[in-house]
Amino acid sequence: MRSRILLLLATVLWCGALYRPWSGLPPLHRFFHWTSSPLRIVSGGTDRLELEGPYAPLQIGLDSLGVPHVFGQDAQAVAYGVGWMHARDRLFQMELMTRVVQGRLSEVVGSVALESDIFWRKFEFARKAPVWYNRYSVREPAMAAELIAYSQGVNDYISRMGPGDKPLEFHLLGLEPSEWKPENLFYLLRYMSHILSYNEDDLKATEMQFVLGEECYYFWYPTRIPAELRHPIYPEFAMDSLTYRRLVTIPGLDAEQRVSGSSGVYQYRSPAPLSPVSMMRFPRAKVKTMDDFGLGSNNWAVSGRKTRNGRPYLCNDTHLMLAFPSTWYEIHKEVVGKGGRQGSWSRGFGVAGSPFVITGFNQRVAWGMTNATWDLSDFYWLERDGRGRYKLDGRWEPLDSFEVAIVVKGMEHPVRKRYYRTYFGPADTASGNLLALNWIGNQPGNEGAAFHYLESATNIEQAFQALHHFRQPPQNIVLADAGGNIGMMTAGAALIHPDPQRGIRIGNRRAARIPFTDMHDLYRRLNPTTGYVASANQEQVDHPLAGHVSTRYESRTRGLRISSLMENHPDSSMGFEELRALHMDVYDGEWEMLKPLLQQISGSYWTYLRDWDGVLDTVRVAPTLYNSFRRTAMEMIGARLDSGLRWLPVETYALNLLVTRDSLRLAQGWMPKLPFVRMVWDSSLARLSRSLGRDPQGWAYGRYHQTWVQHLLKLDPLSMAPFASPGNNRTLNVAGKLPSNHSASMRTVIGLGPQGPDARLMLAGGQSGRFNSPHYRDQIPHWLHGIYHSARRRGGFRQEEYPQSVQFRKKPGLLTPGKR
Interface ranges with another protein (CB under 8 A) = 3-4, 7-8, 10-11, 14-15, 18, 28-41, 43, 162-163, 168, 172, 715-718, 771-772
Is the peptide bond prior to 515 cis by the omega test (within 30 degrees of 0)?
A: no
DSSP classification of residue 305: G
> In Å, how far are 169, 313, 504, 615 from 300, measured between CA atoms?
38, 8, 36, 21
Residue (of 415, 406, 404) closest to 107 by Cα position: 406
| Nearer Cβ to another protein (296/765) | 765
Min dist. Cβ of residue 772 to another protein (A): 5
| Nearer Cβ to another protein (29/468) | 29
| Nearer Cβ to another protein (373/773) | 773
Min dist. Cβ of residue 770 to another protein (A): 10
CA atoms within 13 A on the CB side of 270: 6
Min dist. Cβ of residue 808 to another protein (A): 24
CB within 8 A of 558, min separation 6: which ones?
294, 296, 298, 536, 537, 538, 730, 731, 732, 734
**Cβ–Cβ < 8 Å for 262, 207:** yes
Q: Dihedral of CA 565/566/571/575: which sign?
A: positive
Count Cβ atoms below 10 Å from residue 543 Cβ, excluding itself: 15
| Nearer Cβ to another protein (37/462) | 37
| Nearer Cβ to another protein (36/508) | 36
| Nearer Cβ to another protein (7/815) | 7
| Nearer Cβ to another protein (166/311) | 166
| Nearer Cβ to another protein (15/407) | 15
> In Å, how far are 32, 500, 761, 765, 769 from 65, measured between CA atoms?
33, 48, 11, 11, 13
| Nearer Cβ to another protein (41/280) | 41
Written as one letter, the residue type at 94 is M
CB within 8 A of 681, min separation 6: which ones?
598, 601, 602, 629, 632
| Nearer Cβ to another protein (237/708) | 708
**Cβ–Cβ < 8 Å for 616, 701:** yes
Min dist. Cβ of residue 84 to another protein (A): 21
Min dist. Cβ of residue 12 to another protein (A): 9
**Cβ–Cβ < 8 Å for 309, 298:** no
Min dist. Cβ of residue 41 to another protein (A): 6
Min dist. Cβ of residue 51 to another protein (A): 20
| Nearer Cβ to another protein (28/667) | 28
Min dist. Cβ of residue 22 to another protein (A): 12
| Nearer Cβ to another protein (18/724) | 18
> In Å, how far are 248, 398, 441, 501 from 510, measured between CA atoms?
17, 15, 20, 19
| Nearer Cβ to another protein (23/568) | 23
CA gap 312, 367 in Å, rounded: 12
Count Cβ atoms below 10 Å from residue 787 Cβ, excluding itself: 12
- 400-406 sheet: strands from edge to edge: 400-406, 415-422, 425-430, 433-439, 377-382, 505-506
CA gap 96, 702 in Å, rounded: 34
Min dist. Cβ of residue 708 to another protein (A): 16
| Nearer Cβ to another protein (164/722) | 164
DSSP 337-357: PGGG----EEEEEE-TT-SS-
**Exposed / middle / buried, residue 254 (Cβ in 10 Å: 0-12, 13-18, 19+):** exposed
Quote the strand ranges of 63-132, DSSP E. 68-72
CA gap 626, 591 in Å, rounded: 8
Min dist. Cβ of residue 802 to another protein (A): 23
β-strand partners of 421 = 400, 426
Q: Find the helix or strand (DSSP H, E) in which 270 lies.
A: none
**3-state SS class at 42:** coil
Min dist. Cβ of residue 216 to another protein (A): 49
| Nearer Cβ to another protein (4/395) | 4
Residue (of 744, 753, 751, 754) closest to 783 by Cα position: 744
> In Å, how far are 88, 167, 710, 717, 816 from 772, measured between CA atoms?
13, 10, 15, 11, 35
| Nearer Cβ to another protein (37/683) | 37
In degrees, to the nearest 5, what angle opens at C-alpha 378 toward C-alphas 376 and 384? Answer: 155
CA atoms within 13 A on the CB side of 588: 26
Min dist. Cβ of residue 19 to another protein (A): 8
**Exposed / middle / buried, residue 233 (Cβ in 10 Å: 0-12, 13-18, 19+):** buried
Min dist. Cβ of residue 37 to another protein (A): 6
CA gap 283, 277 in Å, rounded: 8
Min dist. Cβ of residue 152 to another protein (A): 23
> In Å, how far are 185, 262, 379 from 384, measured between CA atoms?
37, 18, 16
Min dist. Cβ of residue 60 to another protein (A): 24
DSSP classification of residue 450: H
Min dist. Cβ of residue 109 to another protein (A): 15
Count Cβ atoms below 10 Å from residue 808 Cβ, excluding itself: 24
Min dist. Cβ of residue 212 to another protein (A): 46
Min dist. Cβ of residue 62 to another protein (A): 20
| Nearer Cβ to another protein (715/738) | 715
| Nearer Cβ to another protein (46/267) | 46
**How far is Cα of residue 18 from the mean position of the Cα atoms in its chain?**
40
